[in-house]
Amino acid sequence: MRRAFKALITLIVVVVLGAAAFIGWYVFGAKVPPKPKLGAATHETGGPATPDGTWHVVPGEHTYVGYRIKELFGDAIVKRDAVGHTPAVHGTLTIAGTRVTAADVTADLSSLASDREARDAYVRDNSLETTKFPTARFALTKPIALPPRAEKNTELPLRATGRLLLHGVTRTVTLTLDARWNGPTIELVGSDPIKLADYRIKPPHTVIASVDDHGSLEFDLTFAPGAR
């Protein structure tokens, strides 16, 4: 009887330690990517003489749309950023003189990926429901004013008002972003708060973790001349 009791206690200890090790690995075992920001100016050569015209999103290492949200562990005692990005982005923007007159960007949310495959599957199947709502889209509804004289390699803080489609819900939002015309490319980066309830998104909740009811939409986009 005592042997059986000791075996049971040992089993419980092993299970608890294993669960603690797993949670520790899940919480602290990966590096969370930083928030998007413009990199150092590269002083590229070539490209159009002015930024006027239509530009299209080009794929690359730093082209993505994604989310950042707090995961909560142990009744919110431990918090960790969960970050997911999709590089499957396409769209255009149009500049005429001192205004951005149009911008339309679409992202494939079924390609969202983070540092945890289990999280990605849960987000796709239960939160964003990407089978039903595979895309997110932002379309500018109000021109963005630019400085009267465009200069290369100059960072510009801007605000873009438009319609954001997410999880089948469309709302008017104003995104805060930083932009830079490098010559052959235009870079846009930004991170803006978002409430899940505004888009009828159920906050993920599992036996391992739950999440805040709000997070942020983030993006890092590079545009090249021409429409596609």
CATH of the domain at 155: 2.40.128.110
Q: Residue 17 domain-assigned?
A: yes
Task: Give the residue among 73, 71, 75 at the shortest CA–CA distance from 83.
Answer: 71
60-90: burial string, b at 16+ Cβ within 10 Å, e else: eeebbbbbbbbbbbeeeeeebebbbbbbbbe
Residues 193 and 83 in one domain: yes
Residues 13 and 58 in one domain: no
pLDDT tens for each residue of the chain, 228 residues long: 555 545 445 444 333 333 333 344 344 445 778 899 998 777 777 788 899 999 999 998 889 999 998 887 555 556 788 899 999 999 999 999 999 999 999 999 999 999 889 889 988 998 899 999 999 999 999 999 998 887 889 999 999 999 999 999 999 999 999 999 999 999 999 999 999 999 999 887 766 667 788 899 999 999 999 987
Residues 25 and 51 in one domain: no
- Tell how far CA 81 is from the center of its chain: 12
pTM score: 0.83
Residues 157 and 104 in one domain: yes
Residues 10 and 110 in one domain: no
pLDDT number for residue 33: 85
> In whole angstroms, what is the distance from residue 51 CA to residue 152 CA?
9
Q: Residue 190 domain-assigned?
A: yes
Residues 26 and 51 in one domain: no
What is the domain extent for residue 221? Answer: 47-225
Residues 6 and 86 in one domain: no
Q: Identify the DSSP state of 71.
A: E
The number of domains in the chain is 2
Residues 25 and 53 in one domain: no
Q: Identify the DSSP state of 30.
A: S
Residues 9 and 65 in one domain: no
Sequence letter at residue 195: K
Q: Where are the alpha helices (DSSP H) in 82-219?
A: 117-122
